[in-house]
Structure 1
Amino acid sequence: MRKGVKGAVIGTVFAVMLGGAGYGAYNIVSALDGDGGTGASGETSEKSGPPSGDEVAETTKAFFAAWEQGRGAKAASYTNNAVEAEPVLTSFGGSGHLTDVKITPSPAQGTTVPFSVEATVSYKGRSKPLTYDSELKVVRGITTGRALVDWQPTVVHPELGKGDTLVTEESASPPIEAVGRDGSVLTKEKYPSLGPVLDDLRKRYGKQAGGTRGVELSIRHTASGAADTSLLTLTEGRAGRLPTTISPRAQAAAEKAVTTYKESSVVAVKPSTGEILAVANNRADGWNAALLGELAPGSTMKIISAAMLIDNGLTTADGPAPCPDKAVSDSATFHNLPGLPPNESATLADSFARSCNTAFVKFSDEIQDDSLTKEAQEKFGLGRDDWKAGITTFDGSVPVSEGPDTAAALLGQGKVQMSPLNMASVTATAITGAFRQPVIVPQSLDGRPLARAEGLKSGTVDQLRAMMNRTATSGTAANAMRGVPGSIGAKTGSAEVDDQATSNSWFTGFSDDMAAAAMAQQGGHGSDAAGPIVAQVLRAGG
């Protein structure tokens, strides 16, 4: 789902030499540093089982001492991945300009050791203190038996990711004061999910907003195009004012909604304009999956599939779409969710509201291999990589398919990939008939060209709205949408993922001039996790 491989130059060199990390990496780094490969305790005999309390204490003491002394390679030698640890630990006192380091461990909790870090950031005569908490875990080396720090970038700082380093210098872009549609200031502290959004907006519009640069300690991300994450400001720059389309009321509701479910994301848009009203994520990895996620959307894709069937004259909302117990496409057998009774006389509206898979699969032999791709691209504006939202987005992917892949694509599986932003846009197009490319910064700010698409015929829109309304009032989305005011509609989705026992939960819905879509990884059925998230945002309004 997340693209881009991060790494450091030294990591690349050592990987070529060693074919991977581990004890081999430790040997080379330790030898260069004069450690001789004996580790904290000086023992070379192999041991097994979890590290003892004494080993945990010895290893952390040696690791912390080397870190405090600014000896990055030495500190890395006490980890189980010295190749990746060394550039991060070296950047702490190097490009990060962090000195006077004092690390205070708390009592170990088994093999986990919480600790606090105090340091001073000094750069060109300016200095400021920095304090934060982190933790590490001590593990047994697989091949050596040594007690080693289990390397994670978060050991050095809780906001560091794989391949990231610390840098103190004049900021790459002037700071911004991003404001919502009501004129109030949007901050990471008030709206944590907007952190990566505000970083990206600063990188893109800092100079245009008219600010001046300051000096900051930042996390330098190695992913192509990723904006730095500011941690501490030594010298204040002047912030330029940047208008956004974010609704503080919707954003607050979205932030609260995703806290209920792990690995969840939600986006809300205004269908009449394409303006993005809210973006929220609750993820352990900090990834902005709401805008950049690339996952199979499950049966929420049936909005596009139903539109394609109607536009190609294969059926209508009141036309036939039988729902058998199973359906076969090119020798691949597809089933419905457990407990769904078959209905051979079902209409498309019936099968849509009940989320019958086999009804859609039965049409797979009647459509061209590129029919769904054309519908997605030409009517819904997806999969062309041409959105210019004012921030980096994934624009959806519905590749041309054949055989059983075509049937899977109709169900939002196979090679189809979407983000919550994509599905919120799909709902907006379905209920208005017009594709309006989502934006988070007004086009008037920079005059950038927005993506265009044909949109849908009014007859198709009327049928889609009616089917989505039925789904929200008496179909699979009814429980989640109960109490949502106004003119409503929705579609549920469950996406199966290889090697994952529980499906991903997807849900998209609308209330008057607001559409929202959510995804919760391993959340189960669409109405179980993603549905309540969407409903909470829709109830708040924009």
Structure 2
Amino acid sequence: MGKGVKAAVIGGVFTVMVGGAGYGAYNIVSAVSGGGGSGSSASAPKTGTPDEDEVAETTGKFFAAWEQGQATQAAAHTNNAAAAGTLLSAYGEEAHISDVRITPGKATGTTVPFSVKATVSHDGVSKPLSYDSELTVVRGKTTGRALVDWQPSVVHPELKDGDTLVTEESAKPPIEAVGRDGTVLTKEKYPSLGPVLDTLRERYGAEAGGTPGVELVIRHADPATAADTPLVTLAEGKPGKLRTTLSAGVQAAAEKAVKQYAESSVVAVKPSTGEVLAVANHREDGFNAAFQGKVAPGSTMKIITAAMLIDNGVTSMNGPAPCPPTATWQSQTFKNLTGMQPNDGATLANSFLRSCNTAFIKLVDEEPLTDASLTQEAEERFGLGRGDWKTGIVSFDGSVPAVSGPDRAANAIGQGQVQMNPLNMASVTATAITGTFRQPYLVSPELDDRQLAQAKGLPASTAAQLKQMMRLTATQGTAAQAMSGLGGDIGAKTGSAEVAGNATSDSWFTGFRGDVAAAAMVQQGGHGGDAAGPIVAAVLRAGG
């Protein structure tokens, strides 16, 4: 088993088997002497980083107590005994995990990796459980003791704050989710679909016609926004078949594309129907930012702003939209990307394809525009920001608040108080090129009789101008490099959003090819064409 602790309960007596020097050896000494490991009460509290012996001592005691199911004792060796005690108690009592065997690995400084082997039991059925985790030993701020730095991930790597472990009959039957062509969609083949499939099961397990099984699950802090995450199945349920709108081919391309960039998300939709063809995320936190993200979209917002300018008669695709070096709005000065040449004679199409910030800032105070004009355009024509999308899973439908002051101008270029995600921007592109708002959805509304959101869409002339400006951007403007090599009817818009505290902007890109629209976001990915652009291009290539 290697060095470390290996504990068993035999005849009611706790026995420690020593696998060499280290944790096991310390535990025998401690048991004989009755020492608590906290040092002399007369000594001043220690300071500084715990040393090698302290790391071994602390983890040895923590692991031994955990193995015995002594939650309170184990928690006492952490720097958050209350939270640790609650979760460690649930480990044995609600999750029914027993026969715990912990094998520590080689410490790196104060961090100790370890493997866990245990048994999960329910109603006479048992299954093995095994996983790897790690912990870090820190110095207690007041006591000076060496303590385990408490994180829920110590108990299981997928646990987060507020989560717990439960073994019971499933709240919802399992599902067999299938794509639009009947391909079975699994989290093993499409990893980033994991949270999506869990949520679909939570919402539609009963409707899909399956029967529940018995599982060990992670129950998340907010069940309304995150469905249970299954870890071990003790008794198989009968899955019900749930048809989704996803395309297996487009989803596979999306999964592959986001893996190239950290903190990235992408969504593809079918503009003619609103069906979601793909949703993929590559993020450390596992969050479905593609559907639930709330961040500034940068210059992709100029699609909506351009529509507002056209619909309100301020200018048109071939009308004036001068691009000066700077533009000042209510004491705040806005600039363009470094190196952009000013153009006092620019049209809206030219300023759009070059993504000139100042051109849009100069036009936001033209008659008849008001503080509410951009909000009205977003809500009434693009269906955004009203909180009424029903996609089939948890989603956010954007926010474009009516504001005065400098943020009115900042909103127009996708900064300020505007919040979007790739789902929203893929829908914006779909509305822009068809003139019709079709609320995106992942599961047919016929399954549960839910009502999809409605909006009046765009005048045909506005949609035609937006589509042509996006075509120009994809072939002659800031999106040309990312979209090169794509055939057919294509269009795009780039964006980069500055985020306070980040040296590098978020990369945004949205585009279309035929009857596929896609949008991607890469946090701290730089310019729109640098990171988000290649993701969207890969998805459009698969879907065209």
The TM-score normalised by the length of structure 2 is: 0.91
Cα deviations by residue, 1:325-346 (Å, 9 ceiling, x for unpaired): 1111111111111111211111
Q: Matched residue of 2:59: which SS?
A: helix
- 2:327 equivalent in structure 1: 327
Would you say how many aligned residue pairs link Structure 1 and Structure 2?
A: 508
1:481-500 deviation line (CA, Å, top 9, x unaligned):
11122211111111111111
Q: Does 1:377 align with 2:382?
A: no
CA contact (8 A) 1:507 1:534 kept: yes
1:49 Cα offset (Å): 3.0
Q: Which amino acid aligns with 1:95?
A: E
Work out the CA distance in 2 between the residues paired with 1:265 and 1:150: 32
User: How far off its partner does 1:451 sit?
Assistant: 0.5
1:143, CA displacement in angstroms?
Answer: 4.0
Are 1:365 and 2:365 an aligned pair?
yes
Structure 2 CA distance for aligned equivalents of residues 278 and 44 of structure 1: 62
- 1:99 alignment partner in structure 2: 98
Distance 1:68 1:507, change over 3 A: same
CA positional deviation for 1:510 = 0.8
Q: Which residue of 1 aligns with 2:541?
A: 539
- Which residue of structure 1 aligns with residue 288 of structure 2? 288
Aligned equivalents of 1:43 and 1:512: distance in 2? 78
Quickly say closer, same or farther: Cα 1:41–1:57, change in 2 above 3 A. farther
- Say if 1:40 and 1:59, in contact at 8 Å, map to a contact too: no
**Contact 1:41/1:58, CA 8 A, preserved across alignment:** no
For 1:472, the aligned partner's letter is A
Return the alpha-carbon distance in structure 2 between the equivalents of residues 303 and 356 of structure 1: 13
SS of the counterpart of 1:365? coil
Please provide the CA RMSD for this pair. Answer: 1.7
Deviation at 1:224, TM superposition (A): 4.6
Distance 1:289 1:121 in 2: 33
* Pick aligned residue for 1:427 from 415, 424, 429: 429
Aligned AA for 2:207? Q
CA–CA distance in structure 1, aligned partners of residues 334 and 43 of structure 2: 57
User: Which residue identity is paired with 2:265?
Assistant: S
1:436 is matched with: 438
Deviation track 1:199-250 (CA, whole Å, cap 9, x = no partner) reads: 1111111111111111110000121503111111111111000000111111
Q: How many Å apart are 1:43 and its aligned residue?
A: 9.4
Relative distance call for 1:494 and 1:39 in structure 2 (3 A) is farther
* Shift, 1:79, TM fit: 2.2
**Is structure 2 residue 243 aligned with structure 1 residue 243?**
yes
| Structure 1 pair 413–43 and aligned structure 2 pair: CA distance change class (3 A) | farther
Aligned-pair distance for 1:39?
A: 4.8
Question: What's 1:391 paired with?
Answer: 393
Matched, 1:265 2:226: no
- Aligned-pair identity (%): 69
Q: For residue 116 of structure 2, what is the amino acid of its counterpart? A: V
State how 1:327-346 maps to structure 2 within 5 Å. 327-346=327-346
The answer to whether the 8 Å contact 1:355/1:476 transfers is yes
Q: Is the 8 A contact 1:40 1:58 kept in 2?
A: no
SS at match of 1:484: coil
Q: Taking structure 1 as reference, are residues 68 and 39 closer, same or farther at Cα in structure 2, changes over 3 Å only? A: farther
CA distance in structure 2 between the partners assigned to 1:453 and 1:42 by the alignment: 71
| AA in 1 matched with 2:427 | S
1:284-338: per-residue Cα shift (whole Å, max 9, x none)? 1111111100001111100000000000000001111111111111111111111
Instruction: Verify the 8 A CA contact 1:39 1:77 in the aligned structure 2.
Output: no
The CA distance in 2 between the partners of 1:330 and 1:393, in whole Å, is: 35
Gap change, CA 1:52 and 1:531, over 3 Å in 2: same
Distance 1:133 1:216 in 2: 20
CA contact (8 A) 1:504 1:520 kept: yes
Which residue of structure 1 aligns with residue 49 of structure 2?
50
Identify if the C-alpha distance between structure 1 residues 427 and 370 changes in structure 2 by more than 3 Å, giving closer, same or farther: same
Classify the secondary structure of the residue corresponding to 2:408. Answer: helix
- 1:127-173 alpha-carbon deviations (Å, 9 max, x no partner): 11111111122223344433222222221111111110000011010
Whether the 8 Å contact between 2:37 and 2:57 is mirrored in structure 1 is no
Distance change >3 Å, CA 163–CA 484, structure 1 → 2: same
Which has the higher mean CA deviation after the structures are superposed, 239-248 or 483-492?
483-492
- Counterparts in 2 of 1:39 and 1:475: CA distance versus 1, 3 Å: farther
For residues 141-290 of structure 1, what are the structure 2 equivalents within 5 Å?
141-225=140-224, 226-290=226-290
* Aligned twin of 1:454: 456
Q: Is residue 80 from structure 1 mapped to residue 79 from structure 2 by the alignment? A: yes
Change in CA separation of 1:438 and 1:122 when aligned onto 2, cut-off 3 Å: same
Return the offset for 1:87.
1.8
Contact 2:263-2:522 within 8 A present in 1 as well: yes
Deviations 1:78-120 (A, max 9, x none): 2233333222222111111100000111111222211111010
Q: Which moved more, 1:83-92 or 1:259-268?
A: 83-92
Q: CA deviation digits over 1:55-94, x for unaligned, max 9?
A: 2211211111121111223222222333332222221111
Q: 1:303 corresponds to which letter in structure 2?
A: I
The residue aligned with 2:412 is: 410
Instruction: Kindly name which structure, 1 or 2, has the bigger radius of gyration based on alpha carbons.
Output: 2
Alpha-carbon distance in structure 2 between the residues aligned to 1:90 and 1:40: 28
Give the TM-score normalised by the residue count of structure 1.
0.91
**Contact 1:39/1:78 (<8 A) preserved:** no
Residues 224-281 of structure 1, C-alpha deviations (whole Å, 9 max, x = no match): 5031111111111110000001111111111111111111111111111100011111
Give the superposition deviation at 1:365.
1.7
Q: Give the letter for the 2:338 counterpart.
A: P
Distance 1:467 1:41, change over 3 A: farther
